[in-house]
Amino acid sequence: MNKLAAEDRTRILHFLCEGQSIRAVTRLTGASKNTVTKRSKQFQTDPLPRGRSLLHPLRRTHRWE
């Protein structure tokens, strides 16, 4: 079984947190769609100390007009 390098895992998480689609992340990183999907599910289920998942959008505190 092939293991994804730590740098590639970090890049996948970075792009997903930026709001990129799974398809866009596959193009940018060269990883397969299944790999990106598995990583996104893994990060969604791992809660942060505050109870948020890593991909949960941050609440906006300032409204631009």
Across 30-59, b (16+ Cβ under 10 Å) vs e yields: ebeeebbeebbeebeeeeeeeeeeeeeeee
Task: List pLDDT tens digits, range 11-21.
Answer: 998 898 888 89
pTM for the predicted model, two decimal places: 0.61
Q: Considering only CA atoms, which of 56, 59, 54 is closest in space to residue 39?
A: 54
Tell me which long-range contacts 58-65 makes (C-beta under 8 A, separation of at least 24): none
Instruction: Give pLDDT tens digits for 19-59.
Output: 889 999 999 999 999 999 988 887 775 555 555 555 555 55
